């Protein structure tokens, strides 16, 4: 929740500094390639949002956190694509302090010059030199760091730059997420195992990574989850466990109602084995149903 508050505080400032600038729609912006190329390694989760088709869905997810969607409207009006990395706050990235999140927005006509002018006269902000030698703005008051160009904005709670090699998403993630509006790569399986504990299944899934993607199908949506395991035997064994879980859900044996509803939705169809991975797919969902499902998923990233 703290990470979301950080982002909202930042975007409120952007609205203040960009009120007199001209806004252009996301469809007029630049085309982004190699979307994780600007992201450092070590994150718990990497996610990408294609803003134009996902806009209403994102707005609805934010309402679950009682956030004012109008507050971030101007930011999204100027943004084509958003990439987010979430860290566990325990692992330091090279020489940088602990990083909890990094958000990069790709768009057009961000008010870079106007924002720098405003920050210069705002005592809450000061210019800091990054470990890379670049300079960015930092506010100790709200714990945010900002670097803005006309077509790109970096937001973090610490140095928004890094000196390591950029992260490379697995090729299987690229194939899996093709055509999706929102996609995420969970590099650490602990949140999923935590979710299983909440539904009285205290087991540890031996997985290398989890991929999640939301696809738009007309007026409906579908959520697909792919779990990559070390081998085919592990994938088949986990599918057997999930079959037992489906039976438990049918008998209403799960105490945690929120977690049970989430699991029941993803297990409405039998899991499909794909080599050393298995795939779970939701039935067609309305925008409101998917927003609630995504909000439930975010709980396990705390």
Helix 190-198 crosses helix 257-266 at what angle (to 10 degrees)?
A: 120
pLDDT the model gives residue 214 = 94
Could you give the 3-state DSSP secondary structure of residue 83? Answer: strand
- Quick one: pLDDT band at residue 179, thresholds 50, 70, 90? very high
Distance CA 214, CA 11 (A): 25
What mean pLDDT comes out for the span 270-276?
87
Decide which of 249 and 100 is more confident: 100
**Could you read off the pLDDT of 96-154 as tens digits, one per residue?**
457 888 989 998 777 777 777 777 768 888 888 998 889 998 887 778 888 888 888 88
Q: Give the pLDDT confidence score for residue 38 in this predicted structure.
A: 85
The 10 Å Cβ neighbour count of residue 295 is 16
Query: Distance between CA 244 and CA 248 in Å, rounded?
Result: 6
Which residue would you say has higher pLDDT here, 173 or 108?
173
- Report domain extents, the chain: 2-28+37-156, 171-182+189-297
Q: Which of 180, 58, 160 is nearest to 101 (CA)?
A: 160
pLDDT of 147: 87
Banded model confidence at residue 53, pLDDT cuts 50, 70, 90? very high
What's the predicted TM-score (pTM) here?
A: 0.78
Share of the chain above pLDDT 70, in %: 69
Closest by CA to 29, choosing from 63, 72, 80, is: 80
Cβ atoms 106, 80 nearer than 8 A: yes
Give the pLDDT confidence score for residue 9 in this predicted structure.
47
Confidence band, pLDDT 50/70/90 cuts, at residue 5: very low
Range scoring the smallest mean pLDDT among 86-95, 192-201, 224-233, 278-287: 86-95
């Amino acid at each position: 929740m703290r990470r979301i508050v950080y982002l909202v505080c930042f975007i409120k400032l952007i609205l203040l500094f960009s009120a007199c600038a001209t806004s252009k729609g996301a469809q007029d912006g630049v085309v982004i390639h190699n979307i994780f190329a600007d992201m450092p390694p070590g994150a718990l989760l990497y996610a990408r949002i294609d803003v134009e088709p996902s806009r209403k869905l994102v707005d609805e997810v934010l309402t679950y956190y009682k956030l004012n969607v109008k507050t971030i409207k101007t930011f999204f009006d100027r943004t084509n694509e958003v990439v987010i990395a979430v860290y566990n706050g325990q692992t330091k990235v090279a020489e940088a302090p602990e990083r909890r999140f990094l958000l990069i927005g790709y768009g057009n006509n961000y008010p870079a010059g106007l924002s720098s002018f405003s920050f210069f006269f705002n005592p809450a902000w000061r210019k800091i030199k990054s470990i890379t030698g670049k300079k960015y703005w930092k506010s100790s008051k709200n714990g945010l760091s900002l670097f803005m160009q006309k077509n790109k904005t970096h937001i973090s709670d610490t140095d928004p730059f890094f000196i390591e090699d950029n992260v490379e998403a697995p090729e299987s993630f690229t194939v899996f997420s093709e055509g999706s509006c929102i996609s995420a790569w969970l590099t650490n399986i602990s949140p999923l195992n935590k979710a299983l504990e909440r539904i009285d299944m205290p087991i540890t899934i031996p997985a290398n990574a989890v991929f999640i993607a939301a696809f738009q199908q007309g007026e409906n949506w579908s959520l697909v989850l792919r779990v990559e395991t070390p081998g085919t035997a592990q994938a088949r064994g986990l599918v057997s466990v999930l079959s037992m879980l489906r039976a438990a859900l049918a008998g209403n044996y799960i105490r945690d109602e929120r977690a049970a509803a989430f699991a029941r939705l993803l297990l409405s169809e039998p899991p499909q084995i794909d080599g050393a991975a298995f795939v779970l797919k939701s039935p067609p969902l309305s925008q409101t149903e998917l927003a609630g499902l995504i909000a439930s998923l975010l709980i396990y990233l705390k």
